[in-house]
Amino acid sequence: MRIVLVGPPGAGKGTQATRLAEKLSIPHISTGDLFRANISRQTDLGKLAKSYMDAGNLVPDEVTIAMAKDRMEQPDAENGFLLDGFPRNVSQAGALDELLQSEGIKLDAVLDLEAPEEEVVKRIAGRRVCRKDSSHVFHVTYSAPKQDGVCDVCGGELYQRDDDSEETVRKRLEVYHTQTEPIIDYYRAQGLVVTISALGPVDDVTQRALEALKRDDEDQ
């Protein structure tokens, strides 16, 4: 299957992308990983992207699209892929359509993870990270530490990252609504959108997504 995964910050896209890609035996292609891999390998595209990032500018769509094209042409993506973080706007969605059409293939579904805005804010703003080891993450509501402000694992101080503050989260949501959400209508017009609730346990959301994708595949 060839799938695009969309949803607001805090909907659990990264977690679900990893799980779904494994269940469906297709590669998980995220823009973050693409940038890191190209910059780390010092590819021409990586150097170009880094020049924009170092100058504090957004990486142009054409650079992101070229990276995605290169990754989708790798052998492990021959039978499908799951795109996470790309396309990020309608312009990129159109470019992806043209790219796929040139290869004689098409998307099977656009999976839309839906979560109420206040729930998203609660999820992200409640996160607390350990200063000693950032892989130790807690949540003031869903997975609170035994002692307030102290990591259960190593005793390090727990803190709220700047980009997890409520103000920052609401700004990120505003960007999502303005730039990325319009691609849902773009793909809905093509009959590709499958919307599921991103609420509940992680396993339940994964199962919900698999069932929705299966139904959609059978309907086509």
Residues annotated as part of the active site: 13, 88, 127, 161, 172
Of the candidates 7, 16, 4, 30, the one whose C-alpha atom is nearest the C-alpha of residue 172 is 7
Which residues face 137 on adjacent strands? 129
- Read off the tokens for 162: 């700047």
Q: What is the DSSP letter of 36?
A: H
Handedness of CA 212, 214, 218, 220 (dihedral sign): positive
Which residues face 158 on adjacent strands? 130
- The C-alpha atoms of residue 159 and residue 150 are separated, in whole angstroms, by 9
- The C-alpha atoms of residue 96 and residue 36 are separated, in whole angstroms, by 21
**Inter-residue contact 150 to 40 (CB < 8 Å):** no
CA distances, 33 to each of 67, 80, 147 (Å): 10, 18, 35
- Alpha-carbon Rg for the chain in angstroms: 18
- Read off the tokens for 73: 């042409």
